[in-house]
Structures are given as C-alpha cells and as structure tokens.
Amino acid sequence: MRSATDHRERWVGVRRSVLALVLVGVVGLAGTALSALTLNGVEQDRLNRALNQRTTMIKQAITAEVNRYSASLTDLAAAVGSQSRLETAEFAAITAGVDRQRLPGATGLVFVVPVKHAQTAALESEWRGRGSPSLKLRPIGESTHRFAVLDKSLDNTGSSAGVDLSPSAQAVEAMDIAEQDRRVTVSRTYRLLKDSGLPPERRQLSFVFVAPVFASSPGAPDAGRFRGWLVLGTRGGDFLSEAVADAAGDGVAVTLIDDGSGDPIPMASWQPPAPLDTSVEALQITVPVAQRSWNLRVAATDRLLAGTDRGLDRIAWLVGLVLTALLVALTGSIVTSRDRALRRVDEATAALRRDIAQREEVEHRLRQRESELVGFAGVVAHDLRSPLARIMGYADFLHEEAFDQLDSTQRDFLARLRKGADNMRVLIDDLLDYATAENRPMANVPVDLHRLAEEIARDRAADRAAGIEVGELPTIYGDPTLLRQVLDNLIGNAIKYTPPDREPHVRVGCQPVEGGRWRCEVTDNGIGIPDRDRAAVFDAFTRVGGSENYPGTGLGLAIVHRIVERHHGQVGVEANPSGGSVFWFTVPEHSRVPTPH
C-alpha cells in the first residue's frame, strides 16, 4: 500500500519536474523570440527609413545632375544660335569650355542639321565652306538625314562629323520632341553608334541630351528659324556612377531603368562591393528627366546601417537561447536535487521507522525480562525471609541465653553470623522494596510531604545525631508508603554518607518550578559524589567510589527512581556548592491539595 503511494507520489514528482522544465524552456524561448522580433522590427524600421532617405538623396542627385547637363546644353545652344553665321571655328570656340565643365559619361557634342537626301551634296559643300573642308557626309538610306556637321569629341574616340543620326530612332525621337517643345530633352536609351566598335564589356547603354538651336542673332538672315540640334551623347553607366556615387556610397545599389519605350531596360547600375541585404525590399521610384522619366530601383546593402546596429535580433536569439539553456539547466538541477533530497528524506524516514519499531520491540522485551527478574527477586526474597528469620532467631537465642558459655572464637563466629544475617535481612528488604516499587498497586491520596519529612527526621535523628531542617513541603496526591520510602532513602543516605567525625546537616524543602511542578531537594554536607559517577547512582546495585566504608546494597536510589517515575516525576543529583550533595525530585503541581494546618 505504502509503496504504491510512494510510486504514485514519485510519478507525480517526475511529471511536475518535467512540466517545470518545459515551462521554463517555453517561457525562455517565447521571451527570446519576442525580443528578437521586436529588435528585428526596430531594425527593419531603421533600414526602411535609411533606404528611403538614401533614395531621396539619390533622386535629388540625379535630378541635379540632369539639370546641370541640360543647363550647359541650353547655354551652348543659345550661344550657337546667337551666331549670325555658324562656322567651325566659332563652334570650336563656343564648345571649348565644355571640357572643363566635368560632364561624366559625356562622349561628344555634335551640331546636327536635318536635310533631305537630295540636298546632301549641297549641305556638305556648304559646311565645307564654313571651315570643315574635309567634311564627308555619310548618308544612310535615301530619305531625310540628320547629319552631325560640327563635332566636339569629349572622350577622345575620334570625330563623329559626317555621321547620319537618322537611323537612330531614339535620337531622332528626342530631336523631334526638342524641336517641337523648344527645349532640352533626353532620349530613350540605346547603344551609341560610336560604341559599336568597343569591346562588349565596355559597351553600355547611352542616351543623348538634345537641345534645339534657333537662330537668335537679330542680323542673321534666318533669325528666329530652327537651325538644328546640339546633341550631347552620354554613357548611362558613367553618368550614373558619377551622379549617385556620393549619395549612394556603399549603402545601396542603384539601377536606372528606362521604360520609355515600353519594355523596361536596365540602363545603368551602381553596384558597391558590399552584398545586398535581402531582408528589406528594394524601392522603385520615378525620376523626371526633361520630358521623360527614368525608374530608379534602389536596394539596400548590408552596410546601409552602421555595423554595430546590425544583427541585433541574431544577438538577441543567441543571448536568449544561451540564457534559456542556462535556466533550463538550473531548473533541472534544482528540481532533480530537490527530488533527490525528497527521496533521501523518504529513505531516512523509512529507516527511522524501522529503527523505532525495532527499538520498541527490544524495549518491550527488556521490560518484560526486567519485570520477570524483579518478580523473581521478590519471590526469592520473600521465600528467604522465613529461613532467615529462623537463623536470626537462633542466633539471637544463642546470644542471649548461651553467650557466657561460648569461648572467644565462638563469640566472634556468633557475632559474624548475626551481622551477616542482618546484612541479608537488609538486602532482602531492599529487594522486596525494589520489586514492590515496580509492581505494587499505587494509592492516589493526599500525602502531606511536610509531615512525612518531620516523622522521618525524628526517627533518623534517634539513630544518629544530625541537624535535619525541614522547610516548606507541599501536600500532593500519591502513594504515602512509596513517597515515605523516597524521603526516607534520601534523608537516610544524606546522614549515612556523612563521615562519622562530622555532624550531618540535612535540609529538606520544595519549591514550585516551571511547567507546573514542585522540585523537592535533600541537601547534605556529606562525602559528595564524583562528577563522572552522578549519572550512575540511580542504577540498581550501583555503588560509586568513596562509599566502600559505608554499608549499603546499591538499591535505595533505584527504588527512589522507580517511585518518582510512577508519580510522573524525575530525579537527579547535583553537587552541593558548599560540599556534599543535593538530591532532587520533581512531582506535578496539580497533585497539590490544600494543607489542613
């Protein structure tokens, strides 16, 4: 039954432990996930904000750069238009400053004029006459042409003069728009004709800025008329790199997409060495460029935020997981050590129970054996009494009637016989008292201890001169015969164990003590008891050092012990500070009854 309960309790304990571990683990993981998510959210927020900011800066940079190119071209177109008769030398003078304007990606600046196929030869001779004697127009097809008649190369790739731009649809479209709107425009992207000779890795998509040129000189014969276009070829990649380098840094990658013709074409891109951060979505924005617009795709790299701010969520996961593991381990060790301790307590309790049961059994057997022995001693003593009485009777008779007829040896034998018989009588009386103290049915009547002590003192003082002082003693409930034995033994010993050359001073008294009890003391000025022997004096047949010269059986104090125990009290002995011993015993106070006197 007990082991089934133990088993059930242990099982409950194991379940509770596992539950505690799981709970700690789940709470730890949940906390970790929550902090990581929060930090991740915060980081994403910061990333998005940084990306937005960077994108705005890039947009502004591109717009500013396009405006700068447009403004330059507008100024140049105005300067070209202001010439009453534009010649090669003037064009060279007007465009001389372009080199210093730092226009990254710019490949060349040409002045383009439209002409019908039939008038190609006339146009060629006219512009040869204006300072380009070697000009050779190279028409493509047989409809209208758009010839670059003047040229300023900006990338040292050779002259474009004489080239027919009409096959380039993007350039033609931009020229038409510019003429029509009378302002600078930007073409869709395409591969520049002059780039077709470059190796593939250096080819890039380009576009042209186009400014219309109107004659503005008042004296010119064609004043106010459209003269042609200034076309600035620009390589997209180089333009973009220069335009966005500062704003983008290594925090973002930028792709410029031209979707003016329908299909989006990645025109150019700025790709820093840092890897892309895919945790944040790239931004798509539109940048207005002259009459058209470019789409910009801006993606974050892992350098967008300062290095220390990155990966906080990963750190949170790591720290959280380590803490959770530690917590689980700690809980586990607490739980298992608690279980171990509980198990040990259980085992110890079981062992204690077994021990107590064994002791009880042994004690029970001992008590049985002791009471058998005591009973046996009582029977023996009782049976010895009458033969002893006869022996003593005959010895007394001899002593009284025939003493004179005995010689000295016989008298000595007789004296020894009488003394031995007397000792035996004392022993038999003590043995009987000892047996009686254990088994005798006990009365429970008021006993006036004071009166008892007075009577004993009187009797004892008759045997030997002694000063016996009886103080305050209560009346208690108990057995008068047995209680008399207690006081008699203690007072008797007090007198007996005082050396013959010293008058015994004995004090008897009681006082109330804690726990509702009386403590009664018998104090003497006798030989005292060595410290080490005090505990033994209440054992039966025990006589301690120093008592050899005093008669006794070693049973008196054992009898006292028995009787006091049967009255629910305790006994003990202490040294009297002024010499001698103090024997004490306690009895319950509730047994006190009012004294009649």
Strand partners, 583: 522, 573
Stretch that binds ligand ADP, among 174-182, 345-353, 463-471, 552-560 (CB under 6 A): 552-560
| Identity at 456, one-letter amino acid code | I
Stretch that binds ligand ADP, among 31-39, 134-142, 319-327, 542-550 (CB under 6 A): 542-550
According to the binding rule CB under 6 A, does residue 553 interact with ligand ADP? yes
The closest alpha carbon to 586, from 570, 563, 575, 597, belongs to: 570
Place of tokens 């534009």: 86
| Identity at 111, one-letter amino acid code | F
The distance of closest approach from Cβ of residue 541 to ligand ADP in the complex, given in angstroms and rounded to an integer, is: 8
According to the binding rule CB under 6 A, does residue 554 interact with ligand ADP? yes
Cβ proximity to ligand ADP: between 324 and 547 the closer is 547
The distance of closest approach from Cβ of residue 498 to ligand ADP in the complex, given in angstroms and rounded to an integer, is: 8
According to the binding rule CB under 6 A, does residue 524 interact with ligand ADP? yes
Cβ proximity to ligand ADP: between 24 and 571 the closer is 571
Strand partners, 289: 292
Cβ proximity to ligand ADP: between 87 and 429 the closer is 429
The distance of closest approach from Cβ of residue 417 to ligand ADP in the complex, given in angstroms and rounded to an integer, is: 22
Cα-based angle 318, 324, 325 (whole degrees, multiple of 5): 90
According to the binding rule CB under 6 A, does residue 104 interact with ligand ADP? no
Q: Which residue number has the CB closest to ligand ADP? A: 552
Stretch that binds ligand ADP, among 154-162, 216-224, 491-499, 589-597 (CB under 6 A): 491-499
Using CB under 6 A, which of 112, 494, 563, 564 touches ligand ADP? 494
Cβ proximity to ligand ADP: between 311 and 552 the closer is 552
Please state, in angstroms and rounded to a whole number, the distance separating the CA atoms of residues 310 and 257.
30
* Furthest CA-CA distance within the chain: 201
Using CB under 6 A, which of 527, 563, 564, 571 touches ligand ADP? 527
The closest alpha carbon to 229, from 163, 184, 288, belongs to: 184
Using CB under 6 A, which of 391, 544, 575, 593 touches ligand ADP? 544
The distance of closest approach from Cβ of residue 557 to ligand ADP in the complex, given in angstroms and rounded to an integer, is: 3
Please state, in angstroms and rounded to a whole number, the distance separating the CA atoms of residues 208 and 393.
162
| Identity at 164, one-letter amino acid code | D
- Cα torsion 483, 488, 489, 494 to 10°: value is 130
According to the binding rule CB under 6 A, does residue 526 interact with ligand ADP? yes
Strands (E), 548-589: 571-575, 581-588
According to the binding rule CB under 6 A, does residue 504 interact with ligand ADP? no
Residue 182, token pair as written in the block: 């009378």
Q: In 155-268, where does DSSP find H-type helix?
A: 169-181, 236-248
Q: Which residues contact 10 (CB under 8 A, 6 or more apart)?
A: 343
412, containing H or E segment:
helix 408-439
Number of residues that bind ligand ADP (CB under 6 A): 22
According to the binding rule CB under 6 A, does residue 571 interact with ligand ADP? no
Residue 472, token pair as written in the block: 């305050």
According to the binding rule CB under 6 A, does residue 556 interact with ligand ADP? yes
The distance of closest approach from Cβ of residue 544 to ligand ADP in the complex, given in angstroms and rounded to an integer, is: 4
According to the binding rule CB under 6 A, does residue 543 interact with ligand ADP? yes
According to the binding rule CB under 6 A, does residue 304 interact with ligand ADP? no
According to the binding rule CB under 6 A, does residue 510 interact with ligand ADP? no
Using CB under 6 A, which of 272, 480, 509, 552 touches ligand ADP? 552
Whole-Å CA distances, 211 to 87, 114, 229, 272: 18, 14, 6, 33
Please state, in angstroms and rounded to a whole number, the distance separating the CA atoms of residues 310 and 304.
9
CA atoms within a 13 Å half-sphere pointing along the CA-CB vector of 170: 20
Stretch that binds ligand ADP, among 6-14, 213-221, 402-410, 490-498 (CB under 6 A): 490-498
Residue 107, token pair as written in the block: 């490949």
Cβ proximity to ligand ADP: between 291 and 553 the closer is 553
| Contact residues for ligand ADP, defined by CB under 6 A | 489, 493-494, 497, 524, 526-529, 537, 542-544, 547, 552-558, 581
